[in-house]
Amino acid sequence: MTDLTPLPMAEARIKLSHLEENIRHIRQWTGKKLRIMGIVKANAYGHGVHRVAETLESVGVSDFGVANIQEAVALRTGGALKKPAAILAFSSPLEPQIDGYLQHDIEMTVCSFDILRAAGEKAAAYGKKLAVQVKVDTGMGRLGLQPAETMELLRNINRSPDIELKGIYTHFAEGSKPGGYTGRQLEEFRNLVTQYESESGTTICKHAASSGAILCRKDAWFDMVRPGILLYGYLPDPCMPAPIAVTPVMQMEARVIFIKTVAPGTSVSYNRTWRAAESRSIATVAAGYADGYPRALSNKGRVVINGKSCPQVGTVTMDQIMIDLGKEHDVKTGDKAILFGWEGPTADDIAGSIGSISYEVLCSVSNRVVRIFI
């Protein structure tokens, strides 16, 4: 029977063996006793949350971090997780969202007295305890109360029969820089959790280290670490020294759909930002900024076709980019161009060309790019 499935024009090839290798290197670095929370927010940084979570679970990860309740419910109900798993939603919830945490056993971030009060009332009505983690602002300035207010929030949690405290965490503003500001944040966090555990007579899961601090602040590891970009094969800062090696998990590819020879002086693409200095072969590749190839990369990028690095020329358009193949080439329509990945430019290379970061490049790969898991 003829396969009528359309041939993908652009693909994000997700190499799950690279993901397994990256988590293995992280675990070797941090030690087997430390819990690892796999950060799978934003569709696992664009890689496909369900297959990524399934793979992480298969190598022993049972804690997952997502952005909000919508992502948490999608992960919980998506069928990827086969074992009991803790899912923490990092966003501070709105009151109408609390029901979702109770219905789907999601750990809720609490950093507000009003939300804590509402959560206790909802949990009592459901007849079940609501699992929460408390976020403390030690200097990120995004979510969380100051340490003194957080201590009072923790006391209120301990007085609530319907709330179960699962952890206390913070987030570093400069996690890839081991000294200075990170050190001050770490000291504030350590003082708070020490005070809480001494006053309450209990120990609690404490975590602060995302990818940067995993690499450069062993004293920030506490009970659990939260690798994000490291899982997907990149350093949080490409210039930082790395004690472990990681490999990109995603390779973005798109097909050559047209080739032509242009005469000297011929302009290519919108606004005529590039002109051929001499006769050249130009390939049109079926990916553009709607697929996640940044428009800011116009006349700056390079792709790999049949093992050869070729410059992108002209303005990046919504659906296509143009590539200078030179005077002689072996490229034909249907061949694949590697836009970034383990065999071509990396997401760091692209990010460096446009003043961005690898996180944004990966997360920008759109849903119309077919994910192929290999």
Instruction: Convert the pLDDT of each residue in 144-199 to its tens digit.
Output: 999 999 999 999 999 999 999 999 999 999 999 888 899 999 999 999 999 999 99
pLDDT at 83 over 80: yes
pLDDT confidence band for 3 (50 / 70 / 90): low
pLDDT for the residue 1: 57
C-alpha to C-alpha distance for 317 and 48, rounded to whole angstroms: 25
Q: Is there a binding annotation on residue 142?
A: yes
What secondary structure letter does DSSP report for 7? P
pLDDT for the residue 179: 82
pLDDT average, residue stretch 100-116:
97
What secondary structure letter does DSSP report for 360? H
Q: Which residue has the tokens 């929030």?
A: 153
C-alpha to C-alpha distance for 48 and 281, rounded to whole angstroms: 36
pLDDT for the residue 69: 98
pTM of the shown model: 0.95
pLDDT at 239 over 80: yes
Q: What percent of the chain has pLDDT over 70?
A: 99
pLDDT confidence band for 259 (50 / 70 / 90): very high
SS3 99: helix
Active site residue: 45, 126, 218, 270, which one?
Answer: 270
C-alpha to C-alpha distance for 23 and 366, rounded to whole angstroms: 25
pLDDT at 4 over 70: no
Asked if 270 is an active-site residue, the reply is yes
Tell me whether strands 302-305 and 308-313 are parallel, antiparallel or unpaired: antiparallel
pLDDT at 90 over 90: yes
Active site residue: 41, 135, 206, 336, which one?
Answer: 41
pLDDT for the residue 60: 96
pLDDT at 305 over 70: yes
SS3 331: coil
Domains 34-232 and 250-373 agree in fold = no
Q: What percent of the chain has pLDDT over 90?
A: 94
pLDDT for the residue 299: 98
SS3 3: coil
CA angle 23, 24, 25 (to 5 degrees): 90
pLDDT confidence band for 6 (50 / 70 / 90): confident
**What digits encode the pLDDT tens for the residues 50-78?**
999 999 999 999 999 999 999 999 999 99
User: Structural domain boundaries of the chain?
Assistant: 34-232, 250-373
Fold of 34-232: TIM Barrel (3.20.20)
What's the CATH class of domain 250-373? mainly beta
Nearest to 166 by CA among 228, 70, 85: 85
pLDDT average, residue stretch 2-29:
92
pLDDT for the residue 34: 96
How far are the Cα atoms of 68, 153, 212, 238, 249 from residue 243, in angstroms, in the given order?
A: 32, 38, 11, 13, 19
Residue of 291 and 8 predicted with greater confidence: 291
Asked if 232 is an active-site residue, the reply is no
Q: Is there a binding annotation on residue 140?
A: no
pLDDT for the residue 185: 97
**What digits encode the pLDDT tens for the residues 119-132?**
999 999 999 999 99
Strand partners, 165: 132
Tokens representing 170 are 């913070």
pLDDT average, residue stretch 233-251:
95
